[in-house]
Amino acid sequence: MTNELRRSLDNRYSKVKGLDQEWYSARKRQLDEILDKLQHLHKLNLDDRENIEGMKKKTIKLIATYSNITMKTNNFLSRWERKHGSKLKSYQSSTLSSSPTPSTFSSSDVYDDKYEPDFLFNTSRAW
């Protein structure tokens, strides 16, 4: 299941690569960490009755964090597409072999993390 989610993420957000690589890479890294933790939880022995409730809580928290980051990434991409849709098409269809022209768009145009609680993007603290 986690491999399918990873492939889905790669397909969905592939157009961001090169245009706002830093923001995309940070979100992708966080989502990958969450998927790794979910995969680890899945592999644990569920016969240990004492830990089942704790594992359920951790799983719910990880899924909520994953959903939150995915929602923010989708919103970011949607705003970028609305603002720069024509630039995206020309960027993708560009046949120039040289490096692409830098984008004038930055993630701060649509995303300001000062409004985000720190724990949402620090998955190591949630674990």
Walk along the chain (127 residues) and give the pLDDT tens digit of each residue.
567 766 766 666 666 555 566 777 777 788 788 878 777 776 665 556 566 677 777 777 878 888 888 788 778 777 877 777 655 555 444 433 343 444 443 444 444 444 444 444 444 444 4
Residue 85 CB contacts under 8 Å (≥ 6 apart), including other chains: none
Query: What is the gyration radius of the CA atoms in the chain, in angstroms?
Result: 18
Q: 3-state class of 26 per DSSP?
A: helix
Contact 24, 105 (CB under 8 A): no
The pLDDT tens digits of the residues spanning 54-77 come to 777 777 787 888 888 878 877 877
Evaluate if pTM is beyond 0.85: no
Residue indicated by tokens 């957000």: 13
